[in-house]
Amino acid sequence: MSEPILVTKDLKKNYGSNQAVQGVSFSVLNGEIFSLLGPNGAGKTTTISMLSCLLQPSEGDAEIGGHSITKDPMAVKRLIGIVPQELALYDALSATQNLNFWGRMYGLGGQALKARIAEVLDQVSLADRAKEPVGRYSGGMKRRLNIAVGLLHKPKLVFMDEPTVGIDPQSRRSILDMVKALRDEGMTVLYTTHYMEEAAELSDRVGIIDHGKLIALGTQKELTRLVGEQETLRLHFGEDLTGEMAVPAFHTVEGVLLATSTDHEVVLTVPEAAVALPGVIAAATKAGIRVRSVDIEEPNLESVFLHLTGRALRD
Amino acid sequence: MKKILNICQKDIAVIMRDKGAMVLMLLAPIVLTLAMGAVTGSFSGRQATAGISDVPVMILNLDQGSAGAAIAAMFKSRTDYFNVEEVTDEAAARKAVQDDKVAAAVFVPANFSASIQAESGGTPVEVEVFGSSARPISVDVVQSFVNTIINQIEVIPVSLGVTANQLISSGLITPEQQGTYIEQMASRLMQNPRSSQSIDIRDISETKTEEGFNALAYLAPAMAIFFLMYTVTQASRSILDERDQGTLPRMLISPTRNTEVLGGKVLSVVAIAFLQVGVLVLVSAMLFRLNWGNPLPVLLLVIGVALGASAWGILLASFSKNPYQVTSLGTALMLLFGIMGGAFISVDSFGGVMKLISKITPHAWALDGFETLALGGTLNDIVVDLIGLLVMTVLLFGISIIVSRKRWATGFTR
């Protein structure tokens, strides 16, 4: 990893009075996987859309490979690849026909395009289904083809906007392995997701984005240090008790720094789980709350987000 | 240019894989042409009811002067096209038309000659052509023939007036003799149809057989153009479909200019329209042995109608918020234009205002051109139709871009 391939400078995007992206500044180094982690509606896709020159920023700029997205978008477009959140494919055409079309849109052609199509189809394990109409593919296969299109012209920087949304665990696994393989081959990836586990597994660095603002940026170690040495106690209840009903019982427990709830869980942030646990169980017993199970979690990106925003990553 | 063609090629490939679209684009017009051809007897050999050879016409001449006699004489002189019966009973003539015993009845009113020769400011009287709705082609020809005769007759007093002035200037007649001179000469000219410019009803030069003009030569292009509006609607809708599906943004993110992306989409619409009409022309020529006319003007007319219809489709897409709106509006337009533009009833049957309004449709221009070419017309004869279609294209496309400027500038992303 060396010089930055992408530098954003105070990028903003307004839709009337709605500030979808508010002054986002970060850089992505050559050869790294950089994740933008944030809940739905945080501004991840809007940021990607500006960086890929699809949307004009309201203010600010970014440089990719030394070219400005506002002043020299054509040069930027030649350097980047995109794997959009939507499956941007033609269902009526086969994988080969899709790749042929998209390859030509990037100026590829002839034997070189043919060879490259064969290469990416192998890369995404679709070579044996290449001649079938894409409409007959499973969701996972379509996602892989979607990725193949983004890689066809060997971009210097590829944007992957939530590429695993709505697919089965096996296909997701395959895609995550593919992303890591891309980094190993020297490609730079800007990856957006609202899944903490994906960001944790893939990323060299993570930017946490919420309500259009970049609220934290760094390696996972640097980010988890933000929450100190805190750990998380996750209490699970039965169907008869919601987290919201139970959480008041734990606000006053000694050692509990923060108590939040989701569905049938209460999530407690504590300095040390082993020390706080007896008091928590006692409080539960006193309130007549039947705790089915308890998980002890070390600091992670989820807890970082919780610490910074007071909300869970997936509300 | 390569990317524009790439987009066009892809769109054609996509639409050809849409079985439903193929049925409506190709099969439906052929089937409807067949059905309407059968209804009008175009396959039955009863060409007298379908075409313009041996067209049965009744003429009721109430005029006391030579103009009415000239009309009757001119009809009778064209035994190659008309089977004429002079009658005296108007009610019986109208009944004969309503019972489809004759294609049309021509009623020359009293004082017709006088109204032509009267000073300007007099009340004109009109020759009425009362036609059978079951024989639109025949009625069309009768009406055209009557119009042509009247145009020539009306010119006679004017040209004789000019001649008379010259004779007066030369001293060959006196100003007092001018009125008598014009009346006698006009009477003589009107009584002798051969002395006036002959009226040229063009025949189909290559297929002039006992069959004469084939009504399918009107029906086939009518159905092709009727369904063309469906095609351009679907093709234009794809701009918004691709916006919603993400493929249009993906194209815009590639190193391709907005103008190339949208140029490709527009070219797709025109190309698909051209292919549809072109295929229908070829198929009908083979299946129904239709002679559409001289190939070059036919080709130009096919291009013209593809452009004109596509411009309407692009306009729809420019104003619609989503693909479903394009489809709804396009379907309504398809039906409305089909009726207004002459796909079912010839526009010549319309009154003046409706005939004018029909010009907003590509149908009216194209069908006029195709009919002319099938009757043996040349490129010169359809220049007006081609210009009409071209003006329509430029105007509508210009409106699309100007009114939806932001949409076009942002590649339909907003």
Is there a contact between A276 and A268 (Cβ–Cβ < 8 Å)?
A: yes
Type of residue numbered B81: Y
From B165, B195, B194, B196, select the one nearest B182 (Cα to Cα).
B165
Question: How many helices, marked H, and strands, marked E, lie in chain B?
Answer: 18, 4
Q: How far apart are CA B289 and CA B269, in angstroms?
A: 29
At A21 the pLDDT is: 93
Strand, coil or helix: B385:
helix
Q: Could you tell me which chain A residue has the CA closest to the CA of B15? A: A92
Is there a contact between B81 and B53 (Cβ–Cβ < 8 Å)?
A: yes
At B149 the pLDDT is: 79
In this complex, which of A84, A105, A149 lies closest to B256 when CB atoms are compared? A105
Q: How far apart are CA A301 and CA B378, in angstroms?
A: 78
What the block records as the tokens of B5 is 């063609």
Strand partners, B62: none
B279 burial (CB, 10 Å; 0-12 / 13-18 / 19+) is middle
What the block records as the tokens of B404 is 């939806």
From B384, B385, B330, select the one nearest B362 (Cα to Cα).
B385
Residues in chain A: 315
Which pairs with CB-CB distance under 8 Å and at least 24 residues apart come from B34-41? Answer: B36/B219, B36/B223, B37/B215, B37/B216, B37/B219, B37/B288, B40/B134, B40/B215, B40/B219, B41/B215
At A97 the pLDDT is: 97
Q: How far apart are CA A312 and CA A262, in angstroms?
A: 8
A86 burial (CB, 10 Å; 0-12 / 13-18 / 19+) is middle
Phi-psi group of B150: left, alpha or beta (phi > 0 → left; psi -120 to 50 → alpha; rest → beta):
alpha
Average pLDDT value for chain A = 90
Q: How far apart are CA A289 and CA A287, in angstroms?
A: 5
Q: Could you tell me which chain A residue has the CA closest to the CA of B246? A: A88
From A180, A189, A165, select the one nearest A51 (Cα to Cα).
A189
In this complex, which of A49, A88, A92 lies closest to B14 when CB atoms are compared? A92
For residue range A225-245, what is the model confidence (pLDDT) as tens digits?
A: 776 767 889 999 988 888 888
Q: Could you tell me which chain B residue has the CA closest to the CA of A159? A: B253
> What are the chain B neighbours of A105 within 8 Å (beta carbons)?
3, 6, 251, 254, 256
For residue range B112-164, what is the model confidence (pLDDT) as tens digits?
A: 888 876 544 455 678 899 998 878 778 888 887 888 777 767 666 666 777 77
Contact B254 A77 (CB under 8 A): yes
At B352 the pLDDT is: 81
Contact A86 B10 (CB under 8 A): no
Q: For the stretch A187-217, what's the b/e string if a residue is b when 16 or more beta carbons lie within 10 angstroms of its beta carbon?
A: bbbbbbbbbbebbbebbbbbbbbbebebbbb
Instruction: Provide the number of CB pairs (under 8 Å) joining chain A to chain B.
Output: 61
From B110, B102, B98, select the one nearest B85 (Cα to Cα).
B102
Is there a contact between B86 and B68 (Cβ–Cβ < 8 Å)?
A: no
Residues of chain B with pLDDT under 70: 39-53, 117-124, 152, 154-159, 182-214, 408-414
What the block records as the tokens of B311 is 């411009």
Instruction: Give rounded-to-5 percent helix, strand, coil for chain A.
Output: 40, 25, 35
- Helix H or strand E encompassing A261: strand A258-262
Residue from A105, A145, A149 whose CB has the most chain B CBs within 10 Å, to mutate:
A105
Strand partners, B106: B59, B129
- Cα–Cα–Cα angle for B120, B122, B126, nearest 5°? 110
| Alpha helix stretches (DSSP H) within B246-294 | 247-253, 258-287
In this complex, which of B14, B256, B413 lies closest to A90 when CB atoms are compared? B14
Q: How far apart are CA B398 and CA B396, in angstroms?
A: 5
At A225 the pLDDT is: 79
- Helix H or strand E encompassing A29: strand A27-29
Q: How far apart are CA A304 and CA A206, in angstroms?
A: 11
Q: Strand locations in B109-183, DSSP E?
A: 128-131
Phi-psi group of A245: left, alpha or beta (phi > 0 → left; psi -120 to 50 → alpha; rest → beta):
alpha
Strand partners, A14: A19
- Helix H or strand E encompassing B394: helix B383-403
Is there a contact between A64 and A51 (Cβ–Cβ < 8 Å)?
A: yes
In this complex, which of B2, B251, B253 lies closest to A53 when CB atoms are compared? B253
At A212 the pLDDT is: 92
At A293 the pLDDT is: 93
Among A residues 99-158, those touching chain B with beta carbons less than 8 Å apart: 101-102, 104-107, 133, 149
Which residue would you say has higher pLDDT here, B203 or A110? A110
What the block records as the tokens of A216 is 């934290």
Type of residue numbered B197: Q
What the block records as the tokens of B24 is 């409506």
**Between β-strands A293-297 and B55-61, what pairing exists: parallel, antiparallel or unpaired?**
unpaired
Question: Would the CA dihedral through B152, B153, B159, B160 be positive or negative?
Answer: positive
A147 burial (CB, 10 Å; 0-12 / 13-18 / 19+) is buried
> What are the chain B neighbours of A102 within 8 Å (beta carbons)?
250, 254
In this complex, which of A54, A89, A97 lies closest to B253 when CB atoms are compared? A54
For residue range A243-293, what is the model confidence (pLDDT) as tens digits?
A: 888 999 998 998 898 888 888 889 898 888 888 999 999 999 999 999 999
How would residue A34 be classed by pLDDT, with cut points 50, 70 and 90? very high
Contact A106 B254 (CB under 8 A): yes
Strand partners, A8: A62
A 10 A CB-CB count for B23 gives 11
Q: How far apart are CA B386 and CA B366, in angstroms?
A: 8
Query: Cα distance from B17 to chain A (closest Cα, Å)?
Result: 6
In this complex, which of B3, B13, B252 lies closest to A93 when CB atoms are compared? B13
| Alpha helix stretches (DSSP H) within B176-215 | 178-191
Contact B254 A74 (CB under 8 A): no
Q: How far apart are CA B126 and CA A109, in angstroms?
A: 69
Type of residue numbered B103: A
Instruction: Give rounded-to-5 percent helix, strand, coil for chain B.
Output: 70, 5, 25
